[in-house]
A and B are shown apart, each in its own frame.
Chain A
């Protein structure tokens, strides 16, 4: 099926502009139901030590979201230094049998979870040289975003607000600058709280939205997943449709002013 509005990331093409995380769900069954309900094709995962003594027959995450059915995007969540992020993502590539599309995330602070941009840039350079296609989580600083693009990241992923905060886009003007200057996809990542946040991101001109908590921590995650799917589609259509201009100080009637029946004098 020819998709005229496909999302192109590096060498890959996707239909859905909603990317989702796999964390914070009640159990693996809910994880899968929500992800399926979202229509997302790209799903992020974290890389952690296996439980020593774990029975290999126990269900694990990749058995409910198989790499054959989804594009599994490993992240470097939990890393505060470039070298740790690089090690983590190299392990991820080995685990996923050579797949090299990754989400790079290097944090600077355990309370705010704000990204450490110097370490992120350092890690990105090493990973790109090592053949990875890097989608980089970043601050909404247009210069940092441009630096990531210039060194070869396949996507820049500015935060809307703090990870897990649900605050939505706090600085649409910065996001707008990043969108205007970027030649790689701009994917809002972190801080989305509800459907309107996702729609607003797409209306600004973002190429996609990545979220986890907004769905997993909703009271009804499967229903919110559907809401998000629709919000991303609606926002994208609204963006492509070209919205009407705003009029700040005057109205503009929707019904004609001519042909009125005889009315009382105003």
Chain B
């Protein structure tokens, strides 16, 4: 298992998980979201290619109401 942070919270994910596995687990596949890994955007096309490493800092964002 790897310790990572997702949206500011610590969690453990199985070794070898890709970004797509994390998103599927969180129920986000197909939703309008964007992902940042260690300060860099992970393009949608790379979700299945990018593997999560120990201590990764992941931000997952979506659009909400604002002015």
> Contact partner of A48 among B9, B35, B39, B61, CB < 8 A?
B61
Whether, in the assembled complex, A120 has its beta carbon less than 8 Å from a beta carbon of chain B, the answer is no
> Complex: how many Å from CA A62 to CA B31?
10
A69-97 vs B: 1/0 string, CB under 8 Å? 00010110100000000010011101111
Chain B: number of interface residues, binned into ranges: 20 to 34
Known A56-B27, A92-B34, A95-B33; judge A44-B43 contact (CB<8 A).
no
> Complex: how many Å from CA A257 to CA B66?
57
Question: CB distance B61 to A91 under 8 Å?
Answer: yes
B32-50 vs A: 1/0 string, CB under 8 Å? 1111100101011000000
How many of chain A's residues have a CB under 8 angstroms from any CB in B? Answer: 41
> Complex: how many Å from CA A255 to CA B20?
77
> Complex: how many Å from CA A72 to CA B28?
21
Known A87-B39, A94-B41; judge A53-B26 contact (CB<8 A).
yes
Q: Which of A19-53 contact B (CB under 8 A)?
A: 21-25, 31, 44-50, 52-53
> Complex: how many Å from CA A92 to CA B34?
7
Rounded to whole Å, the gap between the CB of B5 and the closest CB of chain A is 11
Output the nearest chain B residue to A190 by Cβ-Cβ distance: B67
Question: CB distance A49 to B34 under 8 Å?
Answer: no
Rounded to whole Å, the gap between the CB of B4 and the closest CB of chain A is 12
Compute the total of residue contacts between A and B using a CB distance below 8 Å.
113
Question: CB distance A48 to B36 under 8 Å?
Answer: no
- Chain A residue contacts of B67, Cβ below 8 A: 21-24, 44, 46, 75, 77, 163-164, 190, 210-213
Rounded to whole Å, the gap between the CB of A139 and the closest CB of chain B is 17
Question: CB distance A77 to B62 under 8 Å?
Answer: no
Question: CB distance B36 to A87 under 8 Å?
Answer: yes
- Chain A residue contacts of B54, Cβ below 8 A: none
- Chain B residue contacts of A60, Cβ below 8 A: 31-32, 62-64
> Complex: how many Å from CA A37 to CA B26?
35
Question: CB distance B36 to A54 under 8 Å?
Answer: no
A164-202 vs B: 1/0 string, CB under 8 Å? 100000000000000000000000001000000000000
- Chain A residue contacts of B65, Cβ below 8 A: 21-25, 31, 45-46, 61
> Complex: how many Å from CA A24 to CA B59?
24
Whether, in the assembled complex, B29 has its beta carbon less than 8 Å from a beta carbon of chain A, the answer is yes
Whether, in the assembled complex, A55 has its beta carbon less than 8 Å from a beta carbon of chain B, the answer is yes
